[in-house]
Amino acid sequence: MSVLNQKTVKEVIKIDGVGLHNGKKVHMEIKPAEPNTGILFKRTDLQNNNLIVPGVFNVSSAVFCTTISNNFGASISTIEHLMGALYGTGIDNALIEIDNDEVPILDGSAKLFVDKIIKTGTTISDLPIKIIKIENKILFKEGNKTISIEPNKISLDIDFEIKYENSFIGNQRNQVKVYEDDLLDIYNSRTFCLYEDIEKLKNMNLAKGGSLENAIVVKDEKILNKEGLRNEKEFVNHKILDCMGDLYLSGFKIIGKLVCSQGGHKLTNQLLRKVFSDDSNFSIIEVKEKNIPHSYINKNILESIA
Ligand SMILES: [Zn+2]
């Protein structure tokens, strides 16, 4: 069976936790799904109209986290780390059942999602994967924040930088090739906030489940988490994880080169809205092994794409 065929999880994965923003307990199950289902969320606490597609145009809020909604007002928040894990581990199809309106934050990273998906394994279907190939360069700017995506040969490259006045975070930049690089540092990197912003978030009724167990808290020249950082570029690496998750709302893996400075959920979503507003900006290719010019793509890369 081809590694370029669509994959789903081999068995049901069960995860319990709390929502970062709503602070409520949540039970989530990642279930196997048929080919061409894509990723689909189901709110099991709602009787009707409880299916929510994680699509670019279904993003109802992208402030602090990514929230998707259906036409009936049912929503799910903080989907980005789970979506990043599904993207990176090559899960094309899955039904995500959840009994509340926010994905559990766990340790603030995608580590547990990735560990569980890898441990459970995947079932490979006999249908080929589809990939979105970016055809035109698209740029989106907002103040001093910029994001762009342009055509690339065969990979998804993400080049991300952050610039913080806080000198502990400071300026960080990292570049990854999503289908080729070891993404362990990306998956393991936790969400973060400034100590002085916690009060603001709580006043906005956000971060009610937030703690040092699920976020890095930066105060002046240090972090309050006793265990320290997990990797040298944990801040920007987390932003890359967010970006991967938000990109997966396009429905398929992407071939393109993305460059972002000081962006986040909102900017990534605005970029994708611009890309998908014009059919000439992208094409969708079905990757069948016989169509691949083997002289130009080596087998290792093929495995990492799938
Ligand atoms: Zn995040």
Per-residue pLDDT of the chain (306 residues; tens, 9 = 90+): 456 899 999 999 999 999 998 899 999 999 999 999 999 999 999 999 999 999 999 999 988 899 999 999 999 999 999 999 999 999 999 999 999 999 999 999 999 999 999 999 999 999 999 999 999 999 999 999 999 999 999 899 999 999 999 999 999 999 999 999 999 999 999 999 999 998 888 888 888 888 899 999 999 999 999 999 999 999 999 999 999 999 999 999 999 999 999 999 999 999 999 999 999 999 999 877 655 555 444 555 555 554
Amino acid at 99: D
Residues with CB under 5 A from ligand 1 (ion): 191, 242
- 95 within 8 A of 260, measured Cβ to Cβ: no
- Gap from CA of 191 to ligand 1 centroid (Å): 5
DSSP letter (8 states) at residue 73: S
- Gap from CA of 21 to ligand 1 centroid (Å): 12
- Gap from CA of 127 to ligand 1 centroid (Å): 32
- Gap from CA of 305 to ligand 1 centroid (Å): 23
What is d(CA 38, CA 267) in angstroms, rounded to the nearest whole number?
Answer: 23
What is d(CA 278, CA 157) in angstroms, rounded to the nearest whole number?
Answer: 22
Which of the following is catalytic: 21, 81, 238, 265? 265
What is d(CA 109, CA 235) in angstroms, rounded to the nearest whole number?
Answer: 11
Would you list the DSSP string of 147-213? EEEE--SS-EEEEEEEE-SSTTT-EEEEEEETTTS--HHHHHPPPEEEHHHHHHHHHTT--TT--TT
Q: Is 68 helix (H, G, I), strand (E, B) or coil?
A: strand
- Comparing C-alpha atoms, which of 107, 299, 80 is closest to residue 190? 107
Going 219 to 222 to 226 to 227, the CA torsion angle's sign is positive
- Comparing C-alpha atoms, which of 86, 51, 53 is closest to residue 68? 53
- Gap from CA of 238 to ligand 1 centroid (Å): 6
27 noted as active-site residue: no
Provide the whole-model pTM.
0.93
